[in-house]
Amino acid sequence: MEELTSLPGFQDMLEFGLIDALLGRRSRRFFLGAQIPDGVFAYKSRHAPVPLSELEKLLIVAACAGNTSWHHMIYRAQLYAPYLSNYAGAAGGRTFPSAAGFHTSMTFFTDDKGVYVLDARNAPAFAEREEDGSFKLDVILDALKSRIRKNPGRSAWTAAGSATY
């Protein structure tokens, strides 16, 4: 992956606050090339469609289903003290909630080129944190990318409803 810090806007993205991202969106967001054909919000972008870059796609997938380093488990249960509990499903934490570390879901996503699955079940930490608690985003994204598989062209689901990837 190219040197992330040299990309335009990359440092701004890292420094943009969560609350600003959640509550500060006052303008109408509409992606390039999109169209709402009718209704009170009818609108057509005057730009040609532009697909997400690989980095943009990986950042979105990481936010939705990424790995946050080592899972800290629930270690204060009296039954297990002073040892770690034995019910965490995996040692790697996630960006989405789960019960006691059981991360059994797999994330499917799509783009103009196909259907993909991120299989991070039972995954260890994608990267080691630095002494100050930070981590290198490029290492996280490389690990994430290594766990993404593209559907080989068949339907995303079989008649029985199980995934085929």
Q: Is residue 36 part of a domain?
A: no
Q: Are 141 and 1 in contact (CB under 8 A)?
A: yes
Q: What is the DSSP letter of 101?
A: T
With respect to residue 61, please indicate whether it lies within any of the assigned structural domains: yes
**Confidence category of residue 160, pLDDT binned at 50, 70, 90:** very low
For the stretch 1-58, pLDDT in tens is 567 777 888 888 888 887 887 777 666 667 889 899 999 989 999 999 888 889 999 9
Please tell me the total count of domains within the chain: 1
At 85-122, the pLDDT tens digits run: 666 656 677 777 766 666 677 889 998 888 999 988 77
Nearest CA-CA partner of 64 in 95, 91, 93, 90? 95
**143 inside domain:** yes
Name the average pLDDT for the chain: 79
Could you read off the pLDDT of 124-138 as tens digits, one per residue? 788 888 889 888 888
Contact 113, 152 (CB under 8 A): no
Q: What is the residue range of 123's domain? A: 52-153
- Residue 31 confidence (pLDDT): 80
**Residue 160: how many CA atoms within 13 Å on its side-chain side?**
3
In-domain check, residue 98: yes
pLDDT of 48 reads 93
pLDDT band of residue 155 (cuts 50, 70, 90) is low
Residue 27 lies in a domain: no
User: Residue 37's pLDDT is what?
Assistant: 93
Q: How far is CA 82 from CA 72, 86, 93, in A?
A: 14, 12, 21
Rg (CA), the chain: 20
Distance CA 57, CA 100 (A): 28
In a domain, 127, yes or no: yes
User: Does residue 103 fall inside a structural domain?
Assistant: yes
Q: Could you tell me if residue 135 is inside a domain?
A: yes
Element (H, E) at 110: strand 107-111
d(CA 11, CA 32): 23
Q: What is the pLDDT of residue 164?
A: 47
